[in-house]
Structure 1
Amino acid sequence: MQSGNALVTGASGTLGVALANNLARRGYPLVLTARSRPALEDVACRIRDTHGVAIIVQPADLSRPEGATELIAALDAQEVRPSILVNNAGFGLNERFQEHSSERLEAMLHLNVLALTGLTHAYAQRMKSHEGGHTLLVGSLAAYMPAPLMAAYGASKAYVLSLGEALHVELAPEVGVTVLSPGYMETGFDDASGFQPNAATKSTALPPSTVAQIGLDALFAGKASVVAGNANKVAALLGRILPRTFMARQLYKSAGQRYHER
Structure 2
Amino acid sequence: MRTPLLLLVAGAIGVSGCSGSPAAVDVPTTVLESEATSTTTLAPTTTSTPLPITTTTVPVVAGDCTVSSVLGIGVNSEEVRCLERHLIDRGWLMQTADAEFDEQTRIAVRTFQANHDPKLGIVIDGIAGQQTLELLELWLEPPPPDPDESTCEGLGDGAVLDREFQRAWLCAGDAISYLFPVTTAWDQPDPGDYEVVERSREASSILTGSYSEMSHFVVFTYGKFQGARVGFHSVPIYPSGEYVQPLDSVGTSELRGDTSGCIRALPDDAALIWDHLDFGATVKVIS
**What's the TM-score, normalizing by structure 1?**
0.24
Q: Which has the larger radius of gyration?
A: 2
Which structure features the higher share of strand residues? 2
Task: Decide which structure has greater helix share.
Answer: 1
